[in-house]
């Protein structure tokens, strides 16, 4: 009597009209609290109602249209996947992918938002008579267990000619003559609370903006009468509180990670939903998931794209915050393509399925700067566009300086247009003019400013040089190279001790540290494998690295505390790594 056994898996938890934009609806199902919110793209999220950090309810969070921001310490969670995208207390770091709130499946149908707490149950949404636009009644919360409420509703009488015609678990259907008239669903909120949700069928709605108020009031009065009767019959409730079943940490997170196969993995399958000319020599790609949701991409993140010809290439994700239904990439045709850009331009077509890695963010964006400069050269605009959209969405002060040959060479002009006045175009400048312009842009360093650079190698070199002359400290100058153009010396041979794994491996001439480590059975992530992306970084405990990458900045290189294992080597006979 006092506890409700979950039966039917899917329950309505809100009216569609409850989930208005820029609001978080507080819901409850079978004793579990839910935060229900609609993003500006229309998607309704149903999440566990707590922030992963300190457990504060997300129903008091800020819905900014793309993300929920917890009111306590500002953790941000992405539309659709509930992955944490930013932690203000760690502004320089990209949150780990495992920081992800619990989401529940959602279906919006019959004017109601439905969810299920049971992950392994197939979809068995009750089928309601669907006759055009269903009209959801005002939900009525009753302080009584669901079974009692259903009992009382069997004799529901709104004064209309409605007759009980069909009954299923927590569902009653009333017909008018032979036509379906009203379906009443009882949502088991917890052991002592239920919500009565009615859906009227066959209502002739003349004006979409003017609901038939008389009808809504009629049923509201009748349902209030039912509530009054049930609550007075029941008296004060003594039922035991229903505790939601809290699942244990998943095995995957509780156990040591399994030994993974060495090499780069592509865990996602995506379909090329759209391919279009996004600028001169630039192909835009929208990659949609084959099923489910794509992991959220933080600004600055890239994915590995595994191509039909066997090549693996890295492309920055252009997505704006909360844009979770696809990844948008921009691929420039390289005249000296080794098979990457030419394959994407010439071979890959709309409808093709590609394997891509989860997004990785080795170029994270701080959001605590008073002013952020984004300096893009050519296709280097892609990660910076993601950053600019984020800063614009948060209302943070920034400028995007975009160097390109001509107006036609600017990529993603539709997105640039949404950024308005923060975009500065610098077109057709030669090397000397570019350097002079960089001098103007980077002049006037002040504490509280940050600069992010991405573009062709020589341009980043020039910009870093100019920034240093203008007094920018190295830690305020962030950069990402497309590729490492340096000549890599692989001739030396040395020993690498892996402190955590208690292993010592020999790195032979012609072999990389990454290869030697993987050969010894130690899993190590990697992406570009040429010292540009930052994925295979290892911390150095002892020894003297010879840096051959373009990821670390000069200060990081001089400190000798980190090494890119795909290209760098050791000057000392022995290197101890934190692996």
Partner 1 sequence: MITLYDYELSADCYQARLALAVLGLEYSRVDVEFYPGREHETEWFTELSPLQQLPVLCEEETTLYDAPAILVYLASRHDPTASWYPGGDPALAGQVTLWLGFSRALAGSAGAARLHESLGHLTDIDAARSRAHTLLRVLDEHLWFGEQEGRDWLCATDRPTIADLAAFPDVALSEEGGVSRIDYPAVRRWTDRVKRIDGFVAMSGIFPAGPVAA
Question: Which residues of the chain form contacts with partner 1 (CB under 8 A)?
Answer: 14, 17-18, 20-23, 25-28, 33, 40, 59-60, 62-65, 69, 71, 138-139, 141, 193, 195, 209, 211, 213, 216-217, 220, 395
Nearer to partner 1, 197 or 201 (CB): 197
Cα–Cα–Cα angle for 501, 303, 48, rounded to 5 degrees: 80
CB of 55 to partner 1, least distance (A): 15
Residue 277, beta-bridge partner list: 283
Tokens of 96: 């780990």
Nearer to partner 1, 79 or 193 (CB): 193
Nearer to partner 1, 57 or 371 (CB): 57
CB of 193 to partner 1, least distance (A): 7
CB of 218 to partner 1, least distance (A): 12
* Spatial distance between the Cα atoms of 74 and 70, rounded to a whole number of angstroms: 5
Nearer to partner 1, 188 or 543 (CB): 188
How would DSSP label each residue in 481-521? ESS--SPPP----EEEEETTTTEEEEE-TT--HHHHHHHTT
424: CB partners within 8 A, 6+ apart: 399, 400, 401, 402
Other CB atoms within 10 A of residue 456 CB: 17
**φ/ψ of residue 442, rounded to 5:** -90, -5
Do residues 133 and 173 make contact, with C-beta atoms less than 8 angstroms apart?
no
Question: Is the alpha carbon torsion for 371, 420, 61, 300 positive or negative?
Answer: negative
CB of 449 to partner 1, least distance (A): 25
CB of 510 to partner 1, least distance (A): 56
CB of 65 to partner 1, least distance (A): 6
Residue 124, beta-bridge partner list: none
Nearer to partner 1, 410 or 423 (CB): 423
CB of 18 to partner 1, least distance (A): 5
Other CB atoms within 10 A of residue 283 CB: 20
CB of 383 to partner 1, least distance (A): 24
Do residues 189 and 12 make contact, with C-beta atoms less than 8 angstroms apart?
no
Do residues 293 and 383 make contact, with C-beta atoms less than 8 angstroms apart?
no
Nearer to partner 1, 33 or 529 (CB): 33
Nearer to partner 1, 64 or 323 (CB): 64
CB of 376 to partner 1, least distance (A): 25
* Spatial distance between the Cα atoms of 147 and 187, rounded to a whole number of angstroms: 10
Nearer to partner 1, 67 or 549 (CB): 67
Nearer to partner 1, 14 or 514 (CB): 14
CB of 324 to partner 1, least distance (A): 18
How would DSSP label each residue in 124-154? -PPP----SS-EEPPPEEESS-HHHHHHHHT
CB of 285 to partner 1, least distance (A): 27
First to last CA, the chain: 56
Nearer to partner 1, 28 or 173 (CB): 28
Other CB atoms within 10 A of residue 337 CB: 16
Nearer to partner 1, 17 or 573 (CB): 17
* Spatial distance between the Cα atoms of 366 and 191, rounded to a whole number of angstroms: 45
Nearer to partner 1, 17 or 428 (CB): 17
CB of 35 to partner 1, least distance (A): 11
* Spatial distance between the Cα atoms of 88 and 76, rounded to a whole number of angstroms: 9
Do residues 341 and 333 make contact, with C-beta atoms less than 8 angstroms apart?
yes
CB of 224 to partner 1, least distance (A): 8
Nearer to partner 1, 43 or 445 (CB): 43
Tokens of 106: 């959602």
Other CB atoms within 10 A of residue 247 CB: 8
* Spatial distance between the Cα atoms of 141 and 195, rounded to a whole number of angstroms: 4
Closest CA to 322 of 494, 517, 76: 76
Gyration radius (Cα) of the chain, Å = 29
Closest CA to 451 of 475, 431, 432: 475
Tokens of 56: 């504060």
Other CB atoms within 10 A of residue 2 CB: 12
């Amino acid at each position: 009597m006092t506890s409700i056994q979950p039966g039917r898996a899917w329950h309505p938890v809100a009216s569609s009209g409850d989930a208005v934009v820029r609001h978080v609806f507080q819901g409850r199902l079978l004793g579990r609290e839910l935060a229900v919110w609609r993003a500006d793209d229309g998607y309704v999220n149903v999440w566990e109602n707590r922030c992963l950090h300190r457990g504060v309810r997300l129903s008091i969070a800020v819905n900014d249209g793309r993300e929920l921001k917890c009111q306590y310490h500002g953790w941000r969670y992405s539309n659709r996947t509930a992955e944490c995208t930013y932690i203000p207390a760690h502004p320089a770091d990209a949150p780990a992918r495992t920081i992800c709130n619990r989401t529940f499946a959602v279906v919006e149908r019959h004017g109601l938002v439905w969810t299920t707490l049971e992950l392994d149950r197939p979809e068995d949404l009750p089928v309601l008579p669907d006759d055009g636009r269903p009209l959801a009644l005002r939900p009525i919360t009753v302080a009584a267990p669901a079974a009692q409420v259903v009992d009382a509703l069997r004799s529901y009488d709104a004064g209309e000619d409605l007759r009980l015609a069909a009954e299923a678990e927590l569902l009653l259907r009333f017909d008018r003559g032979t036509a379906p008239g009203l379906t009443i669903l009882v949502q088991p909120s917890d052991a002592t609370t239920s919500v009565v949700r009615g859906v009227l069928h066959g209502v002739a709605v003349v004006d979409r903006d003017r609901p038939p108020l008389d009808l809504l009031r009629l049923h509201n009065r009748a349902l209030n009468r039912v509530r009054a009767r049930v609550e007075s019959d029941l008296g004060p409730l003594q039922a035991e509180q229903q505790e939601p079943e809290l699942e244990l940490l998943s095995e995957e997170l509780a156990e040591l990670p399994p030994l993974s196969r060495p090499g780069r993995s592509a865990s996602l399958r995506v379909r090329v939903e759209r391919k279009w000319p996004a600028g001169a020599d630039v192909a835009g790609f929208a990659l949609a998931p084959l099923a489910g949701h794509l992991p959220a991409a933080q600004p600055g993140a890239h994915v590995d794209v595994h191509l039909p010809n066997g090549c693996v290439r890295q492309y920055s994700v252009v997505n704006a915050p909360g844009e979770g239904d696809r990844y948008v990439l921009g691929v420039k045709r390289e005249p000296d393509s080794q098979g990457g850009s030419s394959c994407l331009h010439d071979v890959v077509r709309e409808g093709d399925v590609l394997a891509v890695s989860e997004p990785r963010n080795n170029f994270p964006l701080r959001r605590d700067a008073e002013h952020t400069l984004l300096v893009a050269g050519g296709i280097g605009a892609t990660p910076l566009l993601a950053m600019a959209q984020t800063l614009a969405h948060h209302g943070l002060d920034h400028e995007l300086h975009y160097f390109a040959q001509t107006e036609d060479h600017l990529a993603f002009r539709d997105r640039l247009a949404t950024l308005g006045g923060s975009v500065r175009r610098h077109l057709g400048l030669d090397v000397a003019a570019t350097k002079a312009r960089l001098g103007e842009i980077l002049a006037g360093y002040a504490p509280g400013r940050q600069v992010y650079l991405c573009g062709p190698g020589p341009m980043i070199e020039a910009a870093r040089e100019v920034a240093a002359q203008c007094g920018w400290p190295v830690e305020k100058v962030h950069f990402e190279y497309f590729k490492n153009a340096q000549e890599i010396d692989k001739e030396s041979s040395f020993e690498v001790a892996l402190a955590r794994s208690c292993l010592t491996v020999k790195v032979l001439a012609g072999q990389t540290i990454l290869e030697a480590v993987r050969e010894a059975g130690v899993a190590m992530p990697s992406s570009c494998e040429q010292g540009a992306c930052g994925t295979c970084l290892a911390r150095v405990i002892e020894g003297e690295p010879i840096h051959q990458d373009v990821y670390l900045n000069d200060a990081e290189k001089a400190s000798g505390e980190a090494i890119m294992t795909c290209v760098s080597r050791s000057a000392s006979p022995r290197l101890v790594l934190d692996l």
